[in-house]
Structure 1
Amino acid sequence: MATASMAFKSREDHRKQLELEEARKAGLAPAEVDEDGKEINPHIPQYMSSAPWYLNAERPSLKHQRKWKQDPNYTDKWYERGAKIFQADKYRKGACQNCGAMTHDAKSCMERPRKKGAIHTNMYIAPDEKIETFELDYDGKRDRWNGYDTSTYARVVDRYEARDDARRNHLKEQQLKKLEEKSNNQNDEAAAVAEVSDEDEDDLRVDEAKVDESKQMDFAKVEKRVRTTGGGSTGTVRNLRIREDTAKYLLNLDVNSSHYDPKTRSMREDPNPDTDPNEKFYGGDNQYRTSGQASEFKQLTMHAWEASEKGQDMHMQAAPSQAEFLYKNFMISKDKLKTKTKDTIMEKYGNAATDEDIPRELLLGQSESQVEYDRAGRIIKGQEMAIPRSKYEEDIYPNNHTTVWGSWWKDHQWGYKCCKQMIRNSYCLGIAGIEAAEEAIDHMKANIARKEATEEVPVAAEEKKLAPWGTDVPEDQVLDPKRLNEALRKFDDNLLGPYQGTMEDERKREERDERKRKYNVKWNDEVTAEDMEAYRMKRTHHDDPMKDFLN
């Protein structure tokens, strides 16, 4: 709000002032008026609307924001084009030697060069041009529209109007011709049907010239809004904001459909993925990510990253032009290197896809030594080129074979192709050997099939286990007497108390005791047949009436 002075205000006055400003901004109160009777926009900040203290402004005003230094004449006056001031009768010293004007020299003369200049003929002296000087400021010197005559644009408008009139008259003539043809061929039904179809096709074509003039007038119609204190008078063209297409976020109203980001106005996924692609005009923003120059920009960015990692001073955001220039040079060098490598390989090994014969030098070897021949083909200078030989034996057919070893490959084995044998020192049997090998294979396959057909499920072998406790010992079991005596002695030692026997026996009992044995003591907890026999012999039978006499 514009204020006239910075006088002290009480708290109540300050509160009323704030309420008044809010009401003016909301359009509930009339706007403030300056000394010229113009309304002041209440949305202007106070630091802009308040006048400085040294101006002693008594009323609110915006004069301190207006330009008070006016340029003298650079906007009102301009050079008079083609103005003449004086025409002499005879040639004057220092004038143009071509036309005789004093305002320019022969080098800058704009007239056609005469066969004999005015300095020699002293005739047809051209008048002097009017030369004006303007003192323009910084903006005046750089004003590109300074001195422009707006009335000259009327010729452009007239030319476009004449073109529109000619087009309109041409269309009217065509319509009249069609009506005449239709009236002449009215009796002919076939001709009438054809004419109607032609008219339907013409109606389908959209042409700017066929738009109704009333619609064109409506398009240019400006509807002004009611003047408000806050917004002022604004004008809007009527049809500019009429959109016939549908917003992307309204194509699919399902909540679980593609996400729309209102901040960036982006919808990456396709809102209608099940629709025919030929019928929909929008398929998500992702369809444009790989179109156009997006892939080229991606390659450029990746090249900049790789170059910076390898130590080259290249940054896509800091110096994009340099990065693009270096990338182009890199691609050119890469293509040249690829072409050079291809040409080198083609020159060295040839191209099997072409019909050109491979040079004899490549077939028989290559060398940089110079060899000269005479007309008879004898060597005059240099040595004959040696034929390269393989490290393997060539053209050797042992044991009546007709092919070399290694000409046949089957089941990861090399052999002879003539008889298909895999043994290198074998004798060639020819076709008979091939037939015998095939018969052996067929016989082996038949045996395998016969075995699979007659094969029975094998009976599971019974595991031989030791007799459990409380059972009799099998008759076929053979016990070792020494191991049995050792097992009986161990059993007796376990029955004795810990304080009976010598110190050595006590140490052995400690070693046998699971709770006292050391970490590195060998321990075998397997129960043997001798241990079971010793247990059966020494155990106490509670139902035995003679158990008391055993000890």
Structure 2
Amino acid sequence: MASDLPDNHRKKRKMQKYSTPNNEVTPFRKAAFKSREDHRKQIELEEARKAGLAPAEVDEDGNEINPHIPRYMSSAPWYLNAERPSLKHQRKWKLDPNNKNCWYDRGAKTFQADKFRKGACENCGAITHTSKTCMERPRKAGAKLTGKNIAPDEKIETFDLDYDGKRDPWNGYDAASYAHVIDRYEARDEARKKYLKEQQLKKLEEKNDSDGEDGLNVDEAKVDESKQMDFAKVEKRVRTTGGGSTGTVRNLRIREDIAKYLVNLDVNSAHYDPKARSMRGDPLPDMDPNEKFYGGDNQNRISGEALEFKQLNVHVWEVFDEGNDVHMQAAPSQAELLNKSYRINKEMLRSKAKEAILEKYGNAAAEDALPRELLLGQSEREVEYDRVGRVI
């Protein structure tokens, strides 16, 4: 029994489970973990590379890697055993020794026979497949019996693909093969527009006839007026893996607004990230705030609901440090209610303290008249007190 084995035997079996025949630990056991400080330095280095303050990263071949390329694209898969970031796995791998694109020649034929050959398909007569795998329509009398209409032989090719080549779902996809689908949808849209225009013209003619006017005098500008109403719309096809649909998206950008990177053309001004379209810093810090229309994306983080959300996070951290089981991501409603009750109780305590101070010392800003002894109670008579506060 495994339980009766000594500890050293159990340990030896466990090491054999995670080791190679050469007694070397497999790569997935050598997972390198970064500390929080190393992770922070890595993020600062990436930001400096994007800003142009630090040199770009170099791959194994000595080529510079664009700092705006995401990490999940520049990091090679684990099965390639790459020591550093590279873009080799993103390049075309379907290449022959002559560096030409090669893939299966779809629908290509090689030889057209005149008569039936032994071992060929009994249905169509092609030598490259059997009757069981034949893709033609089953004939009433096959080519073996009639010896007529012999189908040409298909072109058979074999490729020696690597790991990711065999598992690529888009392997051999030709984008030009999708053109007929787009043409069909565009023809359908044109037919729909034509039909709607005819229906609208028909309604206008009926209305003019009912009013006693000539139905032929139709203003074309009125027909296209409905289309002009949608000048701010942008038609966008939204396609997903589950099927896809066509949606209409409003163009929210006002063309009169100046782009962020054109506010200050100085190269040393605030950094603009073109991939995220963000400018965190203020491009014009010395400008009058009353005349400034854009002060950087950071101004949105310290105003409005963003500031309230930060205060909520800080309160949850403080409550958790005190020993309460509160988590912002796990139970956001609980954290919100706890923060709300905390603010209410804090305001009540503050108002009670204020009332106690006013009751004890009075309110000089109140509209009630002050007592006469307070108004005329001052004098130049010297009064001496002891340490306890009694008059000597």
> Smaller-chain TM-score range?
0.3 to 0.5
**TM-score of the pair, normalised by structure 2:** 0.38
**TM-score of the pair, normalised by structure 1:** 0.28
Greater C-alpha radius of gyration = 1
